[in-house]
Structure 1
């Protein structure tokens, strides 16, 4: 179900992007000066106005957008993990080029019928057609923009790129966030057993599996630190429908489901422990050479300490009392009071609870 939602989201974004991209191209062509403007206007005289061309822009946007969504989705799910980024981009570019030729051939045939004009449409028409190569160049640039936005969203989280461009976090801003620190259990022992190369591959596979489900729960990856991943939510989004809790247990179920793979390749079944806490903290941009968003405040340190307490109390998932109060666990989970956590530099102790599936 999640894969379908993920595809539909990509499908809608892709069609909107490419339709707007071709609208912009048509607009530029109609307001341009020179020979090509005269050529286009000679055709537009037969069609009355620009709206006929915009109609084809919609058709082309839907065609290219659909193809783009399908290729991106299939590559992400089946291919990207096994090849490097440069090769993936090259293969996708070749696929797009071939499909673009056929799309244009379809559009030209449609234009001849609806506009009652004679256009060049033999099988090799595109090889020496200047307008086609202009469109290809424009398509290539638009593709780079699309890929850049997609990669930026994967790097920073959805919407963060726009916030950084708009300067939202140029000055420190207070926000309420929810964090999960999730860490591989017995990591030191596993590293000694597997060796650093095999151990690194294990972490790659585990975090790849984690990335397969985090979008399902609207989580963002704040950072990876060694064998630990730090996930983040807007506070209300993370609490809603117990997303933060569901994510953890679904990740464990996915690891169990793939246990044969891990046993075959690493002779172990990986298990992760986690700590969850949230509250108000400061968000701001840091750095100039490697600019990124940083979170400053006790929430980060407290969440880390809660996760570290998992070993002490032999628990897989610990949360703070204030998170438990805001969650509606219902009958799916049960909570167990574990103890009080004394934080460094603090006088008051923090009550922590273990969460278990029923």
Structure 2
């Protein structure tokens, strides 16, 4: 069963490893630097000929502690009311939290180190203000956090394995993959848009997709793109069928909207209802574009998933799935077969689809 704790622990070990290595690299740079006091990483009064191991251990210990603290800060900013702040205010508050926590960690680690290693650090109140090395380290951490954030966002955008493969140019040429696609669309969108007006309607879509983003990582879903009031999600086939992720995700999204029913009713006078169609199979992925690059998926799987979603209203269902994909899921699902085979728009062969009932 997916959980926020599992996501946090995954991010935690990545953060600890990254910052331990990053500050270890900083220690090596400082130790073998060009200036006369390069060996004195934190304390300029240290002997220049002292071995690198104490410096390396101090900085890597700091890195591990910073990794733990930064992961906590990141988790809090992503799961509290702060995530609804503007991007500028969000970044400013997070930077302040990083700065304060860094100074605290520096002080604690150096104080412990002074009692363990034969190194004497000057840790009087405000010791860091006039310490040039500390400011260099803070500047280094600032750019290191930008790199870490970029890697994290890129990994979430493309998926971990997809991002690594993109870096090595795997998708410069068409590559076949086995994937599941879901098209989730807002029901009665036209009437809602007319009643609310384009401004408030856009706010409604923004709120809905905010809830969707909150749920997607818990079920290993990758958000491929947004098209108006429709979200397109995808899974590598193994992840999508594992624990019925591609099914439980949509039900969890509906539940999330229901939990916030009072908010939507008060602000918009309506509870948004989504319908979805899901299908899986083999298709082609390739890197496209030059000015704006992205990964594009081509194949019948996407068209079929979109057409299945288009059958929801006709069959009075909020969630439809192809028989082909259903065969790969466990038999505990409560489904109802659509009696007649459906001829989907743009396809010659009829497709057997099922309605996935609420538990």
Residues 215-226 of structure 1: pairs in structure 2 closer than 5 A: 215-226=217-228
Residues 150-161 of structure 1: pairs in structure 2 closer than 5 A: 150-161=152-163
Equivalent pair of 2:335/2:354 in contact (CA under 8 Å): no
Task: Provide Cα deviations, 1:94-132, integer angstroms capped at 9, x if missing partner.
Answer: 121122122212222223222233322221221221111
Secondary structure (helix, strand or coil) at the match of 1:357 reads coil
- In the alignment, the residues of structure 1 paired with residue 219 and residue 306 of structure 2 have an alpha-carbon distance, to the nearest angstrom, of 21
- In the alignment, the residues of structure 1 paired with residue 8 and residue 80 of structure 2 have an alpha-carbon distance, to the nearest angstrom, of 14
Equivalent pair of 1:275/1:318 in contact (CA under 8 Å): yes
- In the alignment, the residues of structure 2 paired with residue 118 and residue 205 of structure 1 have an alpha-carbon distance, to the nearest angstrom, of 54
Is 1:351–2:352 an aligned residue pair? yes
What residue in structure 1 maps to residue 30 of structure 2? 29
Secondary structure (helix, strand or coil) at the match of 1:309 reads coil
Judge which range, 124-133 or 178-187, deviates more: 124-133
Q: How much does 1:76 deviate?
A: 0.9
- In the alignment, the residues of structure 1 paired with residue 160 and residue 228 of structure 2 have an alpha-carbon distance, to the nearest angstrom, of 24
What residue in structure 2 maps to residue 311 of structure 1? 313
Equivalent pair of 2:40/2:48 in contact (CA under 8 Å): no
What residue in structure 2 maps to residue 256 of structure 1? 258
Count of matched residue pairs: 356
Q: Which structure 1 segments of 5+ residues have no match?
A: none
What residue in structure 1 maps to residue 9 of structure 2? 8
Equivalent pair of 1:238/1:244 in contact (CA under 8 Å): yes
- In the alignment, the residues of structure 2 paired with residue 327 and residue 261 of structure 1 have an alpha-carbon distance, to the nearest angstrom, of 35
TM-score (norm 1): 0.94
Q: 2:116 aligns with which of 114, 118, 137?
A: 114
Task: Provide Cα deviations, 1:304-323, integer angstroms capped at 9, x if missing partner.
Answer: 11000111111111111101
CA-based RMSD: 2.0
What residue in structure 1 maps to residue 236 of structure 2? 234
Judge which range, 318-327 or 159-168, deviates more: 159-168
Secondary structure (helix, strand or coil) at the match of 1:327 reads coil
Is 1:123–2:125 an aligned residue pair? yes
Q: How much does 1:56 deviate?
A: 1.8
Q: How much does 1:173 deviate?
A: 0.2
Task: Provide Cα deviations, 1:122-179, integer angstroms capped at 9, x if missing partner.
Answer: 2122122111111111111101111112222343333433222211111110111100
Secondary structure (helix, strand or coil) at the match of 1:175 reads strand
Is 1:272–2:246 an aligned residue pair? no
Distance 1:260 1:173, change over 3 A: same
Residues 160-239 of structure 1: pairs in structure 2 closer than 5 A: 160-239=162-241
Judge which range, 217-226 or 108-117, deviates more: 108-117
Equivalent pair of 1:46/1:115 in contact (CA under 8 Å): no
Distance 1:53 1:219, change over 3 A: same
- In the alignment, the residues of structure 1 paired with residue 104 and residue 52 of structure 2 have an alpha-carbon distance, to the nearest angstrom, of 24
Equivalent pair of 1:220/1:232 in contact (CA under 8 Å): yes
Secondary structure (helix, strand or coil) at the match of 2:277 reads strand
Equivalent pair of 1:15/1:61 in contact (CA under 8 Å): yes
Equivalent pair of 1:313/1:338 in contact (CA under 8 Å): no
- In the alignment, the residues of structure 1 paired with residue 53 and residue 292 of structure 2 have an alpha-carbon distance, to the nearest angstrom, of 45
What residue in structure 1 maps to residue 77 of structure 2? 75
Q: How much does 1:256 deviate?
A: 1.4
- In the alignment, the residues of structure 1 paired with residue 100 and residue 348 of structure 2 have an alpha-carbon distance, to the nearest angstrom, of 67
Which protein has the bigger helix share? 1
